[in-house]
Structure 1
Amino acid sequence: MKRAAKVLLPLLVLAVLGWGLDQLFPVPPPPQYSPIVLAADGSVLHAFLNPTQKWRMKTELREITPALRNTIIEKEDRYFYYHFGVNPLAILKAAGRNLTGTGRTTGASTITMQVARLLEPKERTVGNKLLEMLRAVQLEAHYSKAEILQLYLNLVPYGGNIEGVKSAALLYFQQPPDYLSLAQTVTLAIIPNRPRGLVLGRHNEAIRQERNRWLRRFGQQGLFPKQDIEDALLEPLDAQRHAAPALAPHLARRLVRQFPGQASVASTLQRGKQAKAEDLTRNYVRRLHELGISNAAVLVINNRTRAVEAYVGSADFRDAANKGQNDGVQAIRSPGSTLKPFLYALALDKGLVTPKLLLPDVPTNFGGYQPENFDKRCNGEIPLDRALAYSLNIPAVRTLNELGVPVFTAKLREAGFRTVARSAPRLGLSTILGGCGATLEELTNLYVTLANGGGYAPLRFARRNEELRIAQEARAGNRKQTQPTKPIQNSQLFSPAAAFLITDILAQLTRPDLPVGYETSIRLPKIAWKTGTSYGRRDAWSIGYNKEYTIGVWVGNFSGQGSPALTGSDIATPLLFDLFNTLAYNSPNNWFQPPATLDFRLVCAESGRPPGENCPNQLIDYFLPGVSPSLRCQHQKEVLLSADGQYVYCRACAPAAGYRRELYPNLLPEVASFKEAQGLPYRRLPAHNPACQLVRGGREKAPSITSPLANTEYVLNKGEQQQLLLSCATDNEVRQVSWYVNDQFLRTAAATERVFFRPPAGTLKISCADDHGRNTNIQVVVSEM
């Protein structure tokens, strides 16, 4: 017992002493690595200098191939796996050679000792050598042999600011360490001993000779098969320093900021798609410079997984003059008309509209807001599907007015529109025409939602660890193919039926890149797409999708300067189709199928509603059973007409006999007024029976004053004889109206006539009375300057 105590006590003291020294002098912190962003297959997409301005990319354990491991150990430390950080026999042998002056002078450094020196560089003295030995023992206590070898391979110098095997492999051979040939592996193994004398690209012939010397030596030792050695000896060495991988610079910076401190971040980007998208965008924008357009941004998304497969933040990241480092994917811009499909999808789900329902397209005052169509023209009435296909503004604003701005903006907030969420209380009807802020990321994901039947989920920019491992194994040849990623869970923004109807409308547009030869066109991907142009022609958008991909394109200037040529259809759409034709050429072209919740019905061609009694012209339209409006068509109404056809009777004033029944168009007053003003032919009702007393003074069909706008201030120039326009919309029975200013008669005019007058300064009461005695009043303020 006493003997055991005598043995254990010193050991215990040594253990306590060792623990205390370990606490007082902890192991050096791990090296600072160069952050790298990986593509979906695990290859390096983008690399950054580390904080000390060195290229030191972390070599992972899986990248240390048997050939690399065996070469390093055989060359540097044959007994690496058998010692505790210090090789006593090697030290004694080296000391003997150094004292006697015989043989090669060596320091007997093990790989672990070299790691200690590389972690804490010091002047080479006997005292520092002893400290290295102590550190080596400490490192062996903290790390496994594999981790120590990994540290060594990450710290070995290769000249200049290049450190580590992975950095050297990528910068000189443009391959990761696990993709190097035997000759390349041996090349990288011999350079760290002479990083200044053997510089790749400068001393290639000397390096080749040294490489071959070691290859022959390894062959003699039987380290590698004879045939592999012979092949490696014949391999030429034409290494040159290349630029570090620099694809997807905007997303790379975004991910590095999102995951600080990580040596590598696995993105969802596909290397081939990313390179193609960058090239196409850069070359396309070069052709636009003469039009005063300097930048573009692109996003390519896999619809099934919501993974971003290409991310182009600007046409040229290095173009400082045009703010190339700005990220156009995240920039908040006006979305123009790109939100219209989602408005109509919500309106379909609310039962407000169907694809063939006719919407009024006439100049309209929505409580002081008067939108205009892009071409400044109106159509009177137009089916919803054509209103969306032609991107008409007035029908869209009318639909938003009926749906409600809060309902629409709530859905946009649910879809991740951050700027809309912040400014929702201030948003109005102009939201649907680009009067809110949005990013390419938000808009493109909203179109992915259309492609996914109304199901929304956030975009994915980074890969999960398991996905990355599978991709890396597939890339290394250990798996035949990457396992499919599970689709992510969605929240439903709108129904699959509404999503299909909008897709069906957007897919009817004529492709701008047709016609082409039949043999080529059958291989082009079928897509649905929508364009948008912001106010002042500052932003051009084009976003398209099919079953597989959604691609979003923004074109414009980061300075916010507009260009007369900048429109979504003319400028952004050609790039969209270049991208689709390149990235999805000869794709299966599987297309969307109508869901079971959708059905067909006959509707009247004159209104788009289910046929009434007088609807001879009918067509087929989609509808949502139990949701879509079921009100029967009333595009014609029966009227009681005097025998001579000059007057119309109401039920109250119709005589007992001497009248006939006829059908007349039942138009909205604003549509009738528009047709009258434009000289469009339509069958107008005769005037109402002037002897009828019942409707006199009634306000149910009083004129609607469309100009000036109620409760608006007008500032007129004193030096100019500026005038105000008076106009109104009336029931189609009205023939003339009377205008009053501050209760003083101004003049009588035809119902559709535009009246101008010079107003006095101050608050004005403007009144309009029709020939049925119905009256409307508004107030405006006129100022002079």
Structure 2
Amino acid sequence: MKRRPIYRILAGFGLLLLLLLGLDRAFPVPPAPLYSPIVLAQDGSVLHAYLNPTQKWRMKTELREITPVLRAAIIEKEDRWFRWHLGVNPLALVQAAGRNLFGTGHTTGASTITMQVARLLEPKERTFPNKLLEMARAVQLEAHYSKDEILQLYLNLVPYGGNVEGVKSAALLYFQQTPDYLSLAQTVTLAIIPNRPRGLVLGKNNAAVLRERNRWLRRFGAAGLFPKQDVEDALLEPLDVQRHAAPTLAPHLARRLVRQFPRQAIIRSSLQRAKQSKAEDLTRNYVRRLRELGITQAAVLVINNRTRQVEAYVGSADFRDFASQGQNDGVVAVRSPGSTLKPFLYALAMDRGLVTPKQLLPDVPTNFQGYRPENFDKHCNGEVTLERALAYSLNIPAVRVLNQLGVPAFTDKLRQAGFRSVTRNRAQLGLSSILGGCGASLEELTNLYVTLAAEGNYRELALVASPQPLSEKERGSSSKKSHASPLSFFGGEGGVPRQAGTQLISPAAAFLTTDILAQLTRPDLPLGAASSMRLPKVAWKTGTSYGRRDAWSIGYNREYTIGVWLGNFSGQGSPALTGADVATPLLFDLFNALAYNSPNDWYAPPAALDFRLVCAESGLVPGENCPNQLIDYFLPNVSNGQRCQHQREVLVSEDGSFTYCRACAPAAGYRRALYPNLLPEVAAYKEAQGIPYRRLPPHNPQCQQVRGGRELAPTITSPTANTEYVLNHHEQQQLLLSCATDGEVRQVHWYVNDQFLRTAKATERVFFRPQPGPLKISCADDHGRNTDVLVTVTELE
């Protein structure tokens, strides 16, 4: 019988608890405040800030930014018993009621910090019923959040006049520092304003703010809150502040990240503040000097090769330049890449064993199934080594190598390297893709060069820093209550997981490509050769798109890869817009500023690479007739082991006037001689250009042997097979006939629709006026070998 009162008490407590839980569910905690999205640099400093959806500056103050000085000043001034009460201070309520009823002392409201948070979360008219609701909300908040979290909420919501709310917003806009970098005097200044945000306005009432600040400093000193000397120093600190604009560094990346993480109040980017600021200044000033040349925009990307983090991101020369479309992001804009893909092509070709650095490639006018590329300077060199073709960015050798490698194999690697435009249009791409015929962004191209710098290993770039571990204090303060996560309430920091790489090219091929690109003479050395020892060593490549609409220059060393694009977002070209002349100077300005006097730790040849002797005339393994030899790199068991045949042995008459074949060689009266074994197109080019070479004498005219063989038949270089030609009747336009032949051929015979047209020299260009309709063009050489092509001619009246 005696236990019944205890059961009744427990039952009463149970019912009360159920009632409170029911009320908590029926009236949940107010939603999280709408914060101003801010983007941080890697060191935690604010790069860019935006107004929140209600057009207020309310930047989230993190727990680590609430310094002991700020915490002590706020609690001492606003709520001394904050750490001990459960949201409502009964003693303060009794004291306030006594003062208000009997008129003794100042009239007060006895609001605790938690009650103020409740009022700031749900602003209401100040009435007695609303005060009771405020007290109930305060108790509810205490049940859901730790004391540090409640203090954090308070400091994020307190008003500072106008549209400025929260201590972090005030610190940045008035002192240009985050709260954890403020002095004692500045911290106390921000602690005293929230109670009088209209009377104590920084920048307008600085004198009144100074008097109030010093009054509170003396009170804090008398209470022993801060050391006496610190207080005396703070009293001497002047207060000359004004409101500043919010930080606006890296506007393009900030906008991109805010769109990518729309629910996060704080996004920690991978950018380095000093590098970002320097890159923006250099880019803006450089483009300002180019405006008279019709060049108005630029974009820059700086990547740390070891971490794959983007440390500087400049989307345009000036974000606020609306006339030049400065808000466009040149880092992600898809443009024509020009010649910037050539290093990657040659690296892939070396991995396939198709080429080596010293191997000679034909650089002559060539028709690739209807595609006729030209070098940038409209000049051909006959034959060049691969390393020269890459160093001087020659177009025709690059197209020839792509033709050998195969467009699908090349574009498949670009797809693996994250080229989105190539992935979408892969079926439509052809040989022109190596000369800018495919779309690419600065971000994609620069990461491709990071892959070369990383020995062929590809990984996606990181725009957001990895999540930072919490300190012991932050871990302790955020683990007290578990009903709501502080990160979900206040917004968290974005991060990217570390990714495993994809080996796109071998380390050996990457090294050989880097070795070639590093041999180019820097444009800034002739004027500053004395200080060149302090300049960073760089491997670099330029590119210029068709019509001079885009200029590229991308360089790398072991530490950094920097990509530069210049042009106009309107797509308008400029005669001065070339990668070598316009983009490269900015590239080296950036390298010199960001990596000056850095250790030039350069690449070493990988173990998979070896040396061998090659013929100087072809770059192939020496044959029987290769007296001139040199050393070249090669990939064992991969590189082509074909023997050099740059010369061939032929039978010639004693006077050297004609040659014999095996069928017509006499028993005596001839000798053996070596002659250049040139490709037909190379021989035709040298003949047309008047370049001297040892030409094979004509074949024995008395020979009765008819030598067929389609492999030595003439190659018709014009017109192109299966092509429609539209000729203007009034302009009397004609069709060009040309071919490439074996070195022994002296004459060719041209036929149109099996009707004889004329006989011409093997290297002669023949013009004629065709009739409209389908045409069969035939070319027969003086050895009886024949080739046909079919074309269609349409005539415009």
Counterpart Cα distance in 2 of 1:49 and 1:611: 71
Alignment of 1:525-674 (within 5 A): 525-674=536-685
How has the CA–CA distance of structure 1 residues 589 and 577 changed in structure 2, closer, same or farther, with 3 Å as cutoff? same
The answer for the alignment partner of 1:761 in structure 2 is 772
CA contact (8 A) 1:42 1:468 kept: no
Counterpart Cα distance in 2 of 1:520 and 1:644: 62
The answer for the alignment partner of 1:509 in structure 2 is 520
The answer for the alignment partner of 1:493 in structure 2 is 504
TM-score by length of 1: 0.97
The answer for the alignment partner of 2:489 in structure 1 is none
How has the CA–CA distance of structure 1 residues 313 and 338 changed in structure 2, closer, same or farther, with 3 Å as cutoff? same
How has the CA–CA distance of structure 1 residues 685 and 717 changed in structure 2, closer, same or farther, with 3 Å as cutoff? same
Counterpart Cα distance in 2 of 1:8 and 1:217: 48
How has the CA–CA distance of structure 1 residues 468 and 413 changed in structure 2, closer, same or farther, with 3 Å as cutoff? farther
Code of the residue aligned with 2:695 in structure 1: it is: R
Counterpart Cα distance in 2 of 1:353 and 1:87: 83
CA contact (8 A) 2:712 2:741 kept: yes
SS of the residue corresponding to residue 300 of structure 2 reads: strand
Q: CA deviation at 1:518?
A: 4.4
Q: CA deviation at 1:615?
A: 1.4
SS of the residue corresponding to residue 165 of structure 2 reads: coil
User: Match for 2:84 among 82, 86, 96?
Assistant: 82
The answer for the alignment partner of 1:698 in structure 2 is 709
Counterpart Cα distance in 2 of 1:691 and 1:371: 42
CA contact (8 A) 2:544 2:552 kept: yes
SS of the residue corresponding to residue 146 of structure 1 reads: helix
Alignment of 1:390-539 (within 5 A): 390-466=392-468, 489-539=500-550
Alignment of 1:110-509 (within 5 A): 110-466=112-468, 489-509=500-520
Counterpart Cα distance in 1 of 2:225 and 2:501: 55
TM-score by length of 2: 0.95
After superposition, the C-alpha distances for 1:352-378 in whole angstroms (9 at most, x for unaligned) are 111010000111111111111111111
Q: CA deviation at 1:715?
A: 0.9
Q: CA deviation at 1:3?
A: 1.4
Q: CA deviation at 1:693?
A: 3.7
Code of the residue aligned with 2:681 in structure 1: it is: E
Code of the residue aligned with 2:79 in structure 1: it is: D
Counterpart Cα distance in 2 of 1:699 and 1:56: 80
The answer for the alignment partner of 1:707 in structure 2 is 718
Counterpart Cα distance in 1 of 2:708 and 2:623: 32
Q: CA deviation at 1:469?
A: 7.1
CA contact (8 A) 1:698 1:773 kept: no
SS of the residue corresponding to residue 726 of structure 1 reads: strand
Counterpart Cα distance in 2 of 1:519 and 1:383: 32
Q: CA deviation at 1:697?
A: 4.1
After superposition, the C-alpha distances for 1:263-320 in whole angstroms (9 at most, x for unaligned) are 1111110000000000000111111111111101000000011110000011111111
- Alignment of 1:783 onto 2:794: yes
CA contact (8 A) 1:727 1:754 kept: yes
SS of the residue corresponding to residue 186 of structure 1 reads: helix
Q: CA deviation at 1:749?
A: 0.7
CA contact (8 A) 2:548 2:573 kept: yes
Code of the residue aligned with 2:118 in structure 1: it is: A
Counterpart Cα distance in 1 of 2:354 and 2:532: 38
Q: CA deviation at 1:468?
A: 8.7
Counterpart Cα distance in 1 of 2:184 and 2:510: 55
Counterpart Cα distance in 2 of 1:335 and 1:87: 69
Moved more, 641-650 or 268-277: 641-650
Moved more, 670-679 or 459-468: 459-468
Q: CA deviation at 1:455?
A: 0.8
User: Match for 2:696 among 670, 685, 698?
Assistant: 685
CA contact (8 A) 1:295 1:558 kept: yes
CA contact (8 A) 2:321 2:327 kept: yes
User: Match for 1:772 among 766, 783, 788?
Assistant: 783
Q: Which runs of 5+ in 2 are unaligned?
A: 476-495
The answer for the alignment partner of 1:46 in structure 2 is 48
Q: Which runs of 5+ in 1 are unaligned?
A: 474-484
CA contact (8 A) 1:697 1:774 kept: yes
After superposition, the C-alpha distances for 1:40-79 in whole angstroms (9 at most, x for unaligned) are 1111111111111111111111111111111000000011
CA contact (8 A) 1:200 1:241 kept: yes
After superposition, the C-alpha distances for 1:645-683 in whole angstroms (9 at most, x for unaligned) are 222111222122221111101101110011000000001
Counterpart Cα distance in 1 of 2:497 and 2:8: 63
After superposition, the C-alpha distances for 1:469-522 in whole angstroms (9 at most, x for unaligned) are 79x99xxxxxxxxxxx99863211111111111111001111111213444221
After superposition, the C-alpha distances for 1:584-621 in whole angstroms (9 at most, x for unaligned) are 11111111111111111111111111211221211111
CA contact (8 A) 1:304 1:487 kept: no
The answer for the alignment partner of 2:759 in structure 1 is 748
Code of the residue aligned with 1:590 in structure 2: it is: D
Q: CA deviation at 1:439?
A: 0.7
Code of the residue aligned with 2:629 in structure 1: it is: Q
How has the CA–CA distance of structure 1 residues 511 and 469 changed in structure 2, closer, same or farther, with 3 Å as cutoff? farther
CA contact (8 A) 1:545 1:551 kept: yes
How has the CA–CA distance of structure 1 residues 675 and 656 changed in structure 2, closer, same or farther, with 3 Å as cutoff? same
Moved more, 713-722 or 545-554: 713-722
Counterpart Cα distance in 1 of 2:74 and 2:444: 50
Counterpart Cα distance in 1 of 2:663 and 2:772: 45
Counterpart Cα distance in 2 of 1:381 and 1:337: 19
Moved more, 641-650 or 592-601: 641-650
Moved more, 8-17 or 341-350: 8-17
Counterpart Cα distance in 1 of 2:343 and 2:398: 9
Code of the residue aligned with 2:651 in structure 1: it is: L
Moved more, 22-31 or 3-12: 3-12
CA contact (8 A) 2:466 2:497 kept: no
Code of the residue aligned with 2:768 in structure 1: it is: F
After superposition, the C-alpha distances for 1:212-241 in whole angstroms (9 at most, x for unaligned) are 000000010001111111111111111111
Code of the residue aligned with 1:635 in structure 2: it is: H
SS of the residue corresponding to residue 717 of structure 2 reads: strand
Query: How many residue pairs were aligned?
Result: 773
Counterpart Cα distance in 2 of 1:397 and 1:697: 30
Counterpart Cα distance in 2 of 1:200 and 1:664: 90
How has the CA–CA distance of structure 1 residues 138 and 586 changed in structure 2, closer, same or farther, with 3 Å as cutoff? same
- Alignment of 1:676 onto 2:687: yes
SS of the residue corresponding to residue 688 of structure 1 reads: coil
